[in-house]
Structure 1
Amino acid sequence: MSNICILTKKKKITKCKVSHSNIKNKCFSKINFNKQIIWVKNKFNKIKISSKSIKIIKKCIF
């Protein structure tokens, strides 16, 4: 599975770590992924989605 959320289309972002001497190094920040079991088309599916999308789903359902 790729590191892209299915619902929100979030993916890893590039950023720069800046040292005290102002040297910039590229690094990546990952997404907060969770495995969630969701009822879809008369069966349970286990999908990997971001925690932000889990909050969105809970807000819409309840």
Structure 2
Amino acid sequence: MSNICILTKKKKYSKNKVSHSNIKNKNFSKINFKNFSIWIKKNFKIIKISTKSIKIIKKCIF
């Protein structure tokens, strides 16, 4: 399974790690993924989505 959120289409992004002497190195930041169970067609499905999309789902449902 890839590291892209199904709902928000978030993926890892690149950034520069800057040292004290101002040398820049490429660095990648990952997304905060969680396993989330959701009710779909009479059973629960476990999907891997970002925490931002979990907050959006809970805001819309409740």
TM over 0.5: yes
In structure 1, the gaps of 5 or more residues are: none
Residues 3-52 of structure 1: CA deviation (Å, up to 9, x unaligned): 00000000000000000111000010000000001011222111000000
Give TM-score, length-normalised by structure 2.
0.95
Percent identity, please.
Answer: 77
Structure 1 stretch displaced more, 35-44 or 24-33 = 35-44
TM-score (norm 1): 0.95
Hey, which bits of structure 1, 4+ residues long, moved more than 4 A?
A: none
User: Where does the alignment leave 5 or more consecutive residues of structure 2 unmatched?
Assistant: none
Question: 1:55 is matched with which residue?
Answer: 55
1:9 alignment partner AA: K
